[in-house]
Amino acid sequence: MSSSDGRIVGTTTLIDNGTGRFNVVVLGDGYQDAELATFATDAQGFCQSLLATPPFDQMRGCINFYRIDVASTDSGADDPAACGGTGATPATYFDATFCSNGIQRLLTVDVPTVRSVANAQVPAWNMLVVIVNDTQYGGSGGAVAVFSRAAGAAEIGIHEMGHTAFGLADEYQTYAGCGSGEAGHDSYTGTEPAQVNVTANTDPATLKWSSRVTSGTPIPTTVNANCSQCDFQASPVAAGTVGLFGGAFYFHCGAYRPEYDCKMRTLGQPFCAVCRDRITAVIQPYCRLVGDFPDPDPNRTVG
């Protein structure tokens, strides 16, 4: 409902690599007082999963993690009936809700309140993540990365962090889903996307990730033969090959992604090379402040 529906309990440092690092702050919504131990486990699990994911695994010494414990009056998140949900409206501090923008899986929170709490508790934050105490699948990656406690929760969180911290685009072919019947996503005809991992350009000479394309890789690498539907063709090249694959940026045609698969397209997959390059470019300055890239202690544990 609002910040009157709970209280700020306090902040715990999970990993402290010193000053001048990339500070990730993890907050919780929909956890009651008695469930804060669960939140602590969830936050630690997310941090461990992130640090095991390339390229973060090579920059462990460059990132600090903090956990802000927030106790909500009720458990869970709003589940509007408009998207087929239960209609539940639990009283939670950050007002987490599914069905944002009419999409059931789009789980959002009250961003100004999240930022206000983070500013008070960890003013030097670089990245805010909110874990919502609900097992229904959902997440979002706007100004704050949000994810639920659904199966594969950490993967959802890392994907959403790709949007929030690194400006990466979704690489899938629709907004609501291939079976949703949505209209307006057949062919992208807009200007060149600003995000580094999607493009409308098919010219090999000016392709934004041309330095990653090896000689002999066809450009485009795949093309959707029917722009009225999603393309499920298999990759014609080996996994990890950087090329120009049709279907991205919520469009069946006209928008392309660097690799056949990537964490920005499919949970459980590694980040593609172009996304890894972007992540490294953002975080590396926080490593160079103290000359610790890569981390000399790669086996460091959280907590």
Predicted TM-score (pTM) of the model is 0.92
Q: Is 20 within the bounds of a domain?
A: yes
pLDDT the model gives residue 293:
55
Same domain, 130 and 105: yes
Averaged pLDDT, groups of 10, the chain, 303 residues long: 83 96 98 98 97 96 97 98 96 98 95 98 98 97 96 95 97 87 91 98 97 96 96 96 98 98 97 98 84 47 41
Same domain, 178 and 230: yes
Domain span at 215: 172-261
- For residues 145-179, one letter each, b for 16 or more C-beta atoms within 10 angstroms of the residue's C-beta and e for the rest, the string is bbbbbbeebbbbbbbbbbbbbbebbbbbbbbbeee
3-state secondary structure the chain: CCCCCEEEEEEEEEECCCCCCEEEEEEEECCCHHHHHHHHHHHHHHHHHHHCCCCHHHCHHHEEEEEEEEEECCCCCECCHHHCCCCCCCCCCCCCECCHHHCCCECECCHHHHHHHHHHHCCCCCEEEEEECCCCCCEEECCCEEEECCCCHHHHHHHHHHHHHHCCCCCCCCCCCCCCCCCCCCECCCCCCCCCCCECCCCCCCCCCHHHCCCCCCCCCECCCCCCCCCCCCCCCCCCCCCCEEEECCEEEEEEECCCCCCCCCCCCCCCHHHHHHHHHHHHHHHHCCCCCCCCCCCCCCC
Same domain, 139 and 51: yes
Same domain, 18 and 81: yes
Q: Is 301 within the bounds of a domain?
A: no
Same domain, 71 and 107: yes
Q: Is 300 within the bounds of a domain?
A: no
Same domain, 148 and 32: yes
- For residue 28 the two structure tokens come to 């919780």
pLDDT tens digits, one per residue of 76-106: 999 999 999 999 999 999 999 999 999 999 9
Same domain, 164 and 58: yes
How high is the mean pLDDT of the chain? 93
CATH at 50? 3.40.390.10
- For residue 83 the two structure tokens come to 């998207």
Same domain, 273 and 257: no
Q: Is 27 within the bounds of a domain?
A: yes
Q: Is 294 within the bounds of a domain?
A: no
Q: Is 296 within the bounds of a domain?
A: no
Same domain, 132 and 118: yes
Q: Is 49 within the bounds of a domain?
A: yes
pLDDT the model gives residue 289:
57
pLDDT the model gives residue 288:
66
Same domain, 115 and 244: no
Number of domains in the chain: 2
pLDDT tens digits, one per residue of 153-211: 999 999 999 999 999 999 999 988 888 888 899 999 999 999 999 999 999 999 999 99
CA atoms within 13 A on the CB side of 293: 18
pLDDT the model gives residue 58:
94
Q: Is 242 within the bounds of a domain?
A: yes
Same domain, 21 and 90: yes
Same domain, 16 and 159: yes
